[in-house]
Amino acid sequence: MNQFCETYIKISRENLKHNAKYFKDLSNKKLIAVIKSNAYGHGLLEVASVLKTEADLFAVASLDSAIALRNGDIDLPILVLNPLNIEFVGIAVNNDIMITISSLNDAQLIEERYKHFEKKVLVHIKIDSGMNRMGLKSIEEYQAILKFIKKSEVLKAVGVYTHFHSPHNIIYSKSQQEKFLEIYQSIPYEFKYVHLCSTSATLNNLDIKQSTHVRIGLGLYGLCESNYVKPVLSMYSKVVIEKEVKKGETVGYNANFKAYQDAIIGVMPLGYSDGIIRKNTGRKVYIDGNYCDIIGNICMNSMMINLPQKGLTADVEIIGPHIKAIYIAKHLQTITYEVTTVLPPHIKRIVE
C-alpha cells in the first residue's frame, strides 16, 4: 500500500452498515456479503472489518481472498464462489472455508483425495439455472451429487445456490426461479444456506420463500439504482504542480489537448496504474466548489486537469458526492461495478 502518496480512498463505515441493514430489512433474510475482488475495489479487510457484525457469511471469488480474510482475523463463515483446484481444497478446509462444487466428478475426486482428512469439506452446490457459467444443470446431476455427498465421510453439503443473469428481466428470471426450484425440490435435504438473490434480484423481488440468505455485492457499496442506499467510496488526490500554458500550447502525451486560451493546468500524481483509465479524459473532477475537466492523455502515474484559477489547495474529488460512480460509468460506457473494482489495492483506504 502507498503510504506516502497524495491519492487516497475514503470508505464510509456508516453508509456501508446502513446499506447492509437495508438489504437485510428489505429481504427479511440473512446476509451473504459479496466482498470479492477486494470488496469491489473498496478494500477487502477494511470492508470485512465493518461488515463482520452485519453479515452472516462472506463470499469471495478466490481462496487467496478467503485466506487473506482469515489472516486478517475475520472468523465469519466464508464461501469461495469460483471453482477451486482439488489440490487446494485441503487448505480451504484447514482454514474453515467453504467451497462451491458443481459436478459429481469433483465430489468424487475430493472424496478420494481427502479421505484421510479429519475435518469435513463443507460445500455449497451450485445450480446453473440459465446463466451457463458455473453449476450443474439437471435434476439427474443434482440427485447424483447429493446422494453421493449424503453417504460421504469426507464431504458435507451445507448450501445450495444459483445466480440470476438478468434480474431486470422478469421472463428470464421467472424461468431461472422455476428451474432452480425444480432441481432443488427434486430431493429433500435440509441446507443451512439456500441463496439466489444478488442486489438487483433482491430489489426486483425475485426471492423465493425457501431461501435463507440474500447474496449482495453492489448494493452494499451503494452503487445500485435505489434511493435507499448510500455510496460508500470516495477517492481524492491533490494538485501537486500548477502550470501556466499559453493559448495554442499542448498538454501531455501525443499533444492530445491544445489550449484554446491561456490556462492553468493542475497536475495530479495518479493515472491509469491507479485505476483511472485513459477513457476518463474529458470527464469532470471537483475541487473547492469547481468542476474541472480532465484534459490530455492520462499518463501511467499522473493526469492533468484544467483549473479555473491558481492556488486551489483542497483535495481533488476524483470519485465522490459530486462525481458519482454512475456519471463516471456513463462516461466510460461501462457499469458501476467496473468503476470501483479497477481501483488497485496499493491505494490507501481510510475507513471513517
Separation CA 208–CA 223 (nearest Å): 24
Pairing relationship of beta strands 155-161 and 193-195 according to DSSP bridges: parallel
* Min separation Cβ 300 and ligand PLP, Å: 29
Residues 180-199 that bind ligand PLP (CB under 6 A): 198-199
**Position of cell 501537486?**
240
Q: What is the CA radius of gyration of the chain?
A: 24
228 is catalytic: no
Separation CA 200–CA 36 (nearest Å): 17
Pick the stretch among 105-113, 211-219, 279-287, 315-323 that binds ligand PLP (CB under 6 A): 211-219
* Min separation Cβ 108 and ligand PLP, Å: 24
- Taking CB under 6 A as the rule, does residue 176 contact ligand PLP? no
* Secondary structure of the chain in HEC code, one letter for each residue: CCCCCCCEEEECHHHHHHHHHHHHHHHCCEEEEECHHHHHCCCHHHHHHHHCCCCCEEEECCHHHHHHHHHCCCCCCEEECCCCCHHHHHHHHHCCEEEEECCHHHHHHHHHHCCCCCCCEEEEEEECCCCCCCCECCHHHHHHHHHHHHHCCCEEEEEEECCCCCCCCHHHHHHHHHHHHHHHCCCCCCCCEEECCCHHHHHCCCCCCCCCEEEECHHHHCCCCCCCCCCCEEEEECCCEEEEECCCCEECHHHCEECCCCEEEEEECCCHHHCCCHHHCCCEEEECCEEEEEECCCCCCCEEEEECCCCCCCCEEEECCCCCHHHHHHHHCCCHHHHHHCCCCCCEEEEC
Nearer to ligand PLP, 124 or 349 (CB): 124
Which of 34, 97, 263, 287 is in the footprint of ligand PLP by CB under 6 A? 34
Which among 24, 29, 36, 126 is annotated as catalytic?
Answer: 36
Which of 24, 124, 163, 213 is in the footprint of ligand PLP by CB under 6 A? 163
State which residue has the least CB distance to ligand PLP.
Answer: 217
* Min separation Cβ 339 and ligand PLP, Å: 13
Pick the stretch among 13-21, 68-76, 216-224, 274-282 that binds ligand PLP (CB under 6 A): 216-224
Number of residues near ligand PLP (by CB under 6 A): 11
* Min separation Cβ 227 and ligand PLP, Å: 17
Which of 206, 216, 251, 295 is in the footprint of ligand PLP by CB under 6 A? 216
* Min separation Cβ 163 and ligand PLP, Å: 4
- Taking CB under 6 A as the rule, does residue 217 contact ligand PLP? yes
Nearer to ligand PLP, 215 or 284 (CB): 215
- Taking CB under 6 A as the rule, does residue 84 contact ligand PLP? no
* Min separation Cβ 176 and ligand PLP, Å: 13
Which among 253, 258, 291, 310 is annotated as catalytic?
Answer: 253
User: Which residues are within 8 A (CB) of 232 and not within 5 positions of it... i.e. 6 or more apart?
Assistant: 11, 12, 15, 16, 19, 42, 220, 221, 222
- Taking CB under 6 A as the rule, does residue 215 contact ligand PLP? yes
- Taking CB under 6 A as the rule, does residue 110 contact ligand PLP? no
Q: Which of 32, 2, 41, 8 is nearest to 329 (CA)?
A: 41
253 is catalytic: yes
- Taking CB under 6 A as the rule, does residue 218 contact ligand PLP? yes
Pick the stretch among 138-146, 147-155, 181-189, 215-223 that binds ligand PLP (CB under 6 A): 215-223
- Taking CB under 6 A as the rule, does residue 81 contact ligand PLP? yes
* Min separation Cβ 337 and ligand PLP, Å: 7
- Taking CB under 6 A as the rule, does residue 38 contact ligand PLP? no
Interface with ligand PLP (CB under 6 A): 34, 81, 163, 198-200, 215-219
The set of catalytic residues is 36, 253
